[in-house]
Copies of this chain bind each other. A is one copy, B any other.
Amino acid sequence: MTDIHPLAALARRWSRHVELTPRDRDALLALPITRKPFAKDAYLVRQGQQATDCCLLLRGFAFRQKSLSDGRRQILSIQIATEFVDLQNGPLRVADHSVQSLDRCEVALIPIADILDLAARHPNLRTAMWIDTLIDASIVREWLVNVGRRDARARLAHLLCELALRLEHVGAVRDGLITLPITQEQLADCTGLTAVHTNRTLQSLRRDGLIHFTNGILRVLDWTGLREAGDFDERYLHQQA
């Protein structure tokens, strides 16, 4: 986050899974980027759009989302700083879902042509990109399990465990305080619930002393308890390294 270079955090993330040579790293950091700020609730990517750039989140939060014809929607993932929000649009070209900002955020736009060129020249980076999208897919699979087979309480506990851990991995947790600018309605769209029931369920998690969550600040009070409540097993995040 406090890196000199905006892509340094990405290099660090990828080097957890792939050995990057200095040459790889230099080539990665040499990617041409355009910094672009987005307001809250702005569209970074629109479903059906032909993408020319990929978006790397430098600061703030975003979410992937699909809308139904009747207006309801399902959130597919939450993206945090240092993550690509749409790397899959490199090879696929046309976006099959939308991406919106969760708060005011800043993005690095990278031309797809340059990304694919980088992948062509650097085997390690190419592998890192593939793995990046594969981990992404693993997380969506776990969300499917969450929504398909867990009750409301477990769904929310699981989601909060995941976000806390992923934010921890990128060093975004300070003194146990986690900035999480997400509304209960959005949590509901992540978990396939209604906002009302999300509210009541969060209250139950609070009442049991598992979390403290107000004003977009989350504090996990009982990590073991929250893990159990969410039937949480972090292996799907593929971050053990």
Contacts and interface: CB of A to CB of B under 8 A. Distances in A.
A92 B137 CA distance: 12
Contacts of A133: 130, 133-134, 137
A100 to B, nearest CB: 15
A138 B96 contact: yes
B147 A192 contact: yes
B131 A92 contact: yes
Query: Chain A contact residues: over half helix, strand or loop, or mixed?
Result: helix
A83 interface: no
A98 B148 CA distance: 17
A106 interface: no
Contact of A235 (B69, B96, B138, B150): B96
Interface stretch (A4-12, A26-34, A71-79, A164-172): A71-79
Max chain B C-beta neighbours (<10 A), residue from A129, A147, A148: A148
Contacts of A191: 148
Nearest to A133: B134
Max chain B C-beta neighbours (<10 A), residue from A91, A150, A189: A91
A231 interface: yes
Contact of A144 (B127, B147, B236): B147
A88 B134 contact: yes
A83 B68 CA distance: 28
A25 interface: no
A74 B134 contact: no
A93 to B, nearest CB: 9
A208 to B, nearest CB: 19
A237 to B, nearest CB: 9
A83 to B, nearest CB: 15
Given A66-B141, A66-B145, A140-B140, 4 more contacts: A64-B141, A120-B123, A140-B144, A148-B192
Interface of A: 48, 64, 66, 68-70, 72-74, 76, 88, 91-92, 96-97, 120, 123, 126-127, 129-131, 133-138, 140-145, 147-150, 189, 191-192, 231, 235-236, 238
6 contacts: A68-B145, A74-B145, A88-B138, A130-B130, A148-B191, A149-B192
